[in-house]
Structure 1
Amino acid sequence: MSDTVNTPTQFNQLPRAGVVTRLIALLYDGMILAGLWMVYGFFAMLVASTFGGLHCQPEHVDYTPCVGGPLYQFGLFAVTAGYFFWSWRAAGQTIGMRAWRLMVANNNGVQLSWYQCFIRALVGPLSVACFGLGYFWGYFRADRASWHDLASDTEVRQLPKKKKSKT
């Protein structure tokens, strides 16, 4: 849990996060993922061209033989899942969630299990792919739960602002 939230009771007393704030945090995470994908792509191309004997054709801007197959796509999926799983399990927050003071935990205010991370990561993209309907579902519910919150039995709460110390 976070520095400001030490117990499940404290977590459950926090206000639920709004839909717009959650979507903005997701945009932040998208930028982080883009950077991780670029680093992964660099190493994948390095490995594929060094050890795979693949013949990339940069003069034709055709890198498909080097990085475009199912193994590469599985690696992108693993990088993405790893980022979210590690963030949710380690602190209950991704980098985007930290920037917007959001925290995810199960409905009892306890750290997510691996199973909850898996279900959340599986349903989350569907929430976005349906034109964001899975997120906007929260507008019609008192608990502001999105599809992936409901499927994984989790909640996203808004953390309080840190108080400035007078010195």
Structure 2
Amino acid sequence: MNTATQSLPCPLWRRLLALVYDLLAVIAIAACTGLFCQLLTGGQLFDAHGKPLTWWFQPVEYLTISAYFIASWLRGGQTLGMRPWRIRVTANDGGKPSLRQALIRLIVAALPILLLELHPWLGLRGALWAVLMAWGLWFAFGLVDRRRRALHDVAAGTEIRLI
């Protein structure tokens, strides 16, 4: 039997602490991507109000951040934030997640970010709270799931296991 299938499901507190670590990695990736894009545009990436002057900047940032998660999950099942907490993404059978599973996991996990589009009606603070509440629901699902899977893990057929 595969040792991954014998390991225990990851408790929510470890997942959340790993996310805090990954947030630092995402900030660094976004900063480096922003710097690279600034260099490409000769410092003309944003207008005086902080809005991007190019159509491609945000998609490039989203793609680089997405690539970090997808590559981490496919390569070793762990992001930088998951390593110190000794947790790993696996397929439900304990094996490595497939590219399809990693993409579904990423898309479903990122869906609450779309709530930021509510900022014209809710204000930025309200839109950020909406995103946080949606992510709270995503992870709260793991409190009732027998295998402690968050909503994005259920959708992708993956789970987070202790290693």
Normalised-by-shorter TM-score class = 0.7 to 0.9
Q: How far apart, CA to CA, are the structure 2 residues paired with 1:55 and 1:112?
A: 37
**1:1-167 matches, cutoff 5 A:** 9-49=2-42, 54=44, 62-64=49-51, 67-126=52-111, 129=131, 130-159=134-163
Is contact 2:45-2:53 (8 Å) kept?
no
TM-score normalised over the length of structure 1: 0.79
Measured in 1, the distance between the counterparts of 2:68 and 2:46 equals 29
Aligned-pair Cα RMSD in Å: 2.1
In structure 2, what is the Cα distance between the partners aligned to 1:68 and 1:101? 42
For structure 1, the residue ranges without an aligned partner over 5 or more in a row are 1-7, 160-167
Measured in 1, the distance between the counterparts of 2:105 and 2:79 equals: 13
**Deviation, structure 1 residue 90:** 0.5
**Sequence identity, in percent?**
29
Structure 2 counterpart SS, 1:157: strand
Q: Report the number of matched residues.
A: 144
Q: Which runs of 5+ in 2 are unaligned?
A: 114-130
TM-score w.r.t. the length of structure 2 is 0.80
Quote the Cα distance in structure 1 between the aligned partners of 2:111 and 2:45: 36
User: Computing the radius of gyration over CA atoms, which structure comes out larger, 1 or 2?
Assistant: 1
Compare the two structures and name the one with the higher helix fraction.
Answer: 2
